[in-house]
Structure 1
Amino acid sequence: MSESESPANAKRRNPTMNDVAREAGVALRTVSRYVNGETNIDPTLVERIRDAITSLGYRRNLAAASIRPGWTSKMLALVIGDLANPYYSSIARAVEERVRSEGYLLTTVSSDEDGARHDQLVDRLMEQRIDGMIIVPPRAQTRDWDTIPPPVPPVVFVDRPGAFPSADCILADNDGGAAEAVSFLLEKGTRRIAFVGDGLDIFTIRERHKGYLSAHRAAGVEPDLESVFTSAHTSEQAADIVRRVVETESADAIFAANNRAAVGALMAFRSLGRRLPMIGFDDFEAAVLSTPATSVVTQDIAAMGTLAADTLLARLAGDASPARTVVLPTRLILRGSEAA
């Protein structure tokens, strides 16, 4: 055996199946059959192969294997907008639990709402030969999916639609949920309802703003456009906005268009020692701890993540039906903060 072929040299690099075969004194084909789960192998050879794998520290190279026709990396990817947002953490947990039950490993990465970073991540994940992707598109989408050379792995968009007609999409009824919440506030007699949220370049915020406007139209009330605030990217920014609204008495109710806006509103109420009726969109853990507890429009985030995972797994299993968009219903939970 030459120095380059010695077991000691194999340990200084990533050992291969050839190294295992030499160490065990068996044919490469036999090692391949063992690694790929075949069971009709002589038990004596199985023991020798197992000992060689342990001795060398061999690990199967799934990325390389996935290049071959019919092979799979057993890896999926989830691209979200913000790892720090509990909303996306809940989606990630639901997706991971579902795909793990089918033997897949999930890689989760964040675009930080940056279109260029999102595109880089998608390119890198495809270079890694992942089997499929679940993607929350960034606020500014720049990816031209038509320019990606095949093969493109199955893609499922979640929370927001993406510019890829052949991909499935799982959404919540943002428009309808917001309209229900704002309609309820209007029915209670409030007429100047401040909309506090992130930018309208985000699909979910844009849809919730649409619901906010449609609720006013349905009630025959003219919305106060000066009470629409779409610069609350953080809870602190939302708190500043709500504090000004309360101090200037420019609105008599708050519709917080996402969980961070709702948290910011609570921060403002606490610092001022007074509050306005409020309903938020998206539930959050601290919602039941405020006094009164925070009323919210809630979406079943776990169901959204699980359905996205199920849809992707079905595509990987050969489902070739036309791409579809599924809109999941929301629910208004009244806990007391909607009252004056």
Structure 2
Amino acid sequence: MAGPEEKHENASPRSLPTISDVARHAGVSPMTVSRVLSGGHHVSAAMQRKVENSVRALGYRRNESARSLRPGHRSGLVGVVVTNLTNPYYAEVLDGIGEILGEENRRVVFGTSHEDFEEEARLVADFVGRQAEGLIVVPSGGSAEHLLPEQRHGVPLVFASRRQEGVDVDAVLVDDVRGAEEVTRLLLDEGHRRIAFMGNALSVFTGQRRYEGFERAHLAKGVPVLPDLVRRGQQDVHAAGLTAHELLALPEPPTAIFSANNRNMIGVIKALYDVGRERGVDMFARVRLAGFDTFDLEELVPGDLSIVTHDARELGRTAAELLLSRLQGKRVDRPSRTIELPSSIRTRRRGEAPLAQA
């Protein structure tokens, strides 16, 4: 038989202390305990210390889930929807969001849409149903109905990285057009005339803007964009690799490839390694690479590489700050605003170590 100090693994846990328990322990009313836990308004310093001592002694913890369901209390939740959490870029964005919201004692719940607007709609509906106070969404570019104010029941919304046509809310973007234009101009200045473009589907906001920059650079230089070298709709590394294989198999393959995102770039790099092994040649000496957003182990690419980059954490922080300005009542009735963060180009030449600022 177990002694009085022994505990069985399957023994029932003791019930958690309640506000009433704390009140009895401190010798005050439950209302006084509630006021102390809510910030100590209209409670003397001596009484606050008394309640706080009882809270520590009993190990009391507020039930945040139940608290969020009671009228007059905020949930402290912000719902975030990104397109692809396997992409380190979005992990950085989430870190930035969490950093700012954490300072305000708000918690992030997030989901991944996989560029599927129906999944995005389900996530938004779920977050609203969980009484999220605000939403930060990287829109997939499909139908916008679920993002309209009446569908989200007036919950404030901020777009990150992309905008969505027909939805007028605050947004933080990157200067995609200028970044793509400048890196494409770099390739043209180096003498490349057969430059392939590999990007997202036409419906994706960033894909449209980055192609616009690609086109602008060609127009400014008086060089035509070659339609047979423009490929759209690669949504993952595997699809990008297949597309790169197709481009490299052309009778006149490209001498340079511009990848509109880092997933495409990784697919291109894999294809260059594969084709190089098959043909017994150094494909990285034959194909110049340029693209958007950093990626893991980019320093191991054995050829010339230029990357349009920006601070993904800062994008997340800015999106969170825009949302907080609405939640805190600072911009409730003001027009929506869009903040564009600057981008820069980092280039590493063949044989050099880290990418250098252009």
TM-score by length of 2: 0.81
1:92 paired with 2:94, answer yes
Match of 2:253 among 239, 250, 263: 250
**Aligned CA-pair RMSD:** 2.7
The 2-side partners of 1:250 and 1:46 are apart by: 72
Match of 1:261 among 242, 259, 264: 264
The 2-side partners of 1:104 and 1:263 are apart by: 35
Q: CA deviation at 1:31?
A: 2.5
Letter in 1 for 2:179: G
Rate the CA distance shift 1:89–1:146 in 2: closer, same or farther, 3 A: closer
Aligned counterpart, 2:320: 309
Letter in 1 for 2:326: R
Q: 1:63, 1:73 within 8 Å by CA — same for their partners in 2?
A: no
Number of equivalent positions:
324
Give aligned-pair identity as a percent. 31
Secondary structure (helix, strand or coil) at the match of 2:249 reads: helix
The 1-side partners of 2:168 and 2:235 are apart by: 31
1:292 paired with 2:303, answer yes
Q: CA deviation at 1:60?
A: 3.0
Letter in 1 for 2:283: R
The 1-side partners of 2:90 and 2:48 are apart by: 49
- The more displaced of 30-39 and 291-300 is 30-39
The 1-side partners of 2:346 and 2:148 are apart by: 42
Aligned counterpart, 1:110: 112
Aligned counterpart, 1:6: none
Q: CA deviation at 1:62?
A: 5.2
TM-score by length of 1: 0.85
Aligned counterpart, 1:132: 134
Q: CA deviation at 1:37?
A: 3.5
Aligned counterpart, 1:331: 344
Q: What residue ranges of structure 1 are gaps of 5+ in the alignment?
A: 1-8
The 2-side partners of 1:162 and 1:231 are apart by: 18
Q: CA deviation at 1:88?
A: 0.7
Secondary structure (helix, strand or coil) at the match of 1:264 reads: helix
Rate the CA distance shift 1:183–1:157 in 2: closer, same or farther, 3 A: same
Q: 2:124, 2:146 within 8 Å by CA — same for their partners in 1?
A: no
Q: 2:36, 2:51 within 8 Å by CA — same for their partners in 1?
A: no
The 1-side partners of 2:225 and 2:262 are apart by: 22
Aligned counterpart, 2:224: 222
Rate the CA distance shift 1:198–1:11 in 2: closer, same or farther, 3 A: same
Q: What residue ranges of structure 2 are gaps of 5+ in the alignment?
A: 1-11, 277-281, 351-358
Match of 1:319 among 320, 327, 330: 330
1:189 paired with 2:191, answer yes
- The more displaced of 167-176 and 248-257 is 248-257
The 2-side partners of 1:45 and 1:213 are apart by: 67
Secondary structure (helix, strand or coil) at the match of 1:37 reads: coil
Secondary structure (helix, strand or coil) at the match of 1:213 reads: helix
Q: CA deviation at 1:166?
A: 4.6
Q: CA deviation at 1:211?
A: 1.3
Q: CA deviation at 1:148?
A: 2.0
- The more displaced of 28-37 and 184-193 is 28-37
Match of 1:35 among 34, 37, 53: 37
Q: CA deviation at 1:260?
A: 0.9
Secondary structure (helix, strand or coil) at the match of 1:233 reads: coil
Letter in 2 for 1:269: L
Q: CA deviation at 1:236?
A: 2.1
The 2-side partners of 1:279 and 1:149 are apart by: 40
